[in-house]
Amino acid sequence: MTKIAVLDDYQRVALTSADWSSLVDRAEVHIFSEHIADEAELVAALADFDVIVAMRERTPFPRSVLAALPALKLLVTTGPANKSIDVPAAQELGISVCGTRAPVPPNLEHTWALILACAKRIVAFDRDIRSGEWQNHVTSDLARARLGVVGLGNYGASVATIGKAFEMDVVAWSTNLTDERCEEVGVAHVTKDELFATSDFVAILMQLSDRSRGLVGRDDLRAMKPTAYLVNTSRGPIVDEDALVDALEQGWIAGAGLDVFDVEPLPVDHALRRLPNVVLTPHVGYVTERTYRVFYRDAVEDVVAHLDGTELRPVPFRPPNR
- CA torsion 8-276-258-61 (nearest 10°) is -30
CA–CA separation, 319 and 166 (whole Å) = 32
SS3 54: strand
Dmax (CA) of the chain: 64
Active site residue 189: no
Catalytic-role residue among 56, 58, 235, 306: 235
Q: Which of 228, 189, 194, 200 is nearest to 143 (CA)?
A: 200
Among 176, 178, 177, 170, smallest CA distance to 201 is for 170
Q: Which of 194, 218, 264, 270 is catalytic?
A: 264
- Whether 110 is catalytic is no
Residues 6+ apart with CB under 8 A from 68: 43, 47
Contacts of 34 (CB under 8 A, 6+ apart): none
264 is catalytic: yes
**In this structure, are strands 169-173 and 188-189 parallel, antiparallel, or unpaired?**
parallel
270 vs 177: CA distance, rounded Å = 34
Peptide bond into 80 cis (omega under 30): no
Active centre residues (catalytic): 235, 264, 283
